[in-house]
Amino acid sequence: MAVTVHTRYLGGLRTEAEHLQSGNRITTDAPTDNQGKGEFFSPTDLLATSLGSCMLTIMGIAARTHGFDIDGTEVEITKVMGTAPRRVVEIVVELTFPSDYEPKVKKILEAAAHECPVANSLHPDLKQTVIFHFGK
């Protein structure tokens, strides 16, 4: 099994992760509410972002498979932190689609969103709130 990502601690509560297949890099920073500068995504921001991006990707695959597109769909993600222990307790994913699709297509998209690998990998105690808005 090949390594996917190599991450290095840069100091100052910052890391740099390299995606080995592509060479792309991501820098993370601790958030301002946890001793950081908040100048980059925090690790928990990336967790929440992964959920929204995964949902969009899986819905895109479903759309391609069924012969329609979701181009222009946008997602807003809200991460809710808890304490004792400090952790993400809820991720709100609000999807806005450019079209008001027929009911069959809406059902395909909603099912795809809930079956993305990130959603299925998160602990059941982490609340996932998904809101769909069809037709901007």
pLDDT for position 13:
97
- What span, in angstroms and rounded, lies between the C-alpha atoms of 64 and 77? 24
Name the residue type at position 77. I
- What span, in angstroms and rounded, lies between the C-alpha atoms of 94 and 109? 13
pLDDT for position 72:
96
What backbone torsions phi and psi does residue 112 show, to the nearest 5 degrees?
Answer: -60, -45
Provide block-wise average pLDDT over 10 residues at a time, the chain (136 residues): 96 97 97 94 97 98 97 97 95 96 96 97 97 90
Number of C-beta neighbours around residue 28 at 10 A: 21
pLDDT for position 136:
66
Contact of 74 with 94, CB cutoff 8 Å:
no
Residue closest to 91 by CA, chosen among 116, 62, 57:
116
Residue closest to 56 by CA, chosen among 27, 25, 77:
77
**Strands 127-134, 87-97: pairing kind:** parallel
- What span, in angstroms and rounded, lies between the C-alpha atoms of 13 and 72? 35
pLDDT for position 135:
85
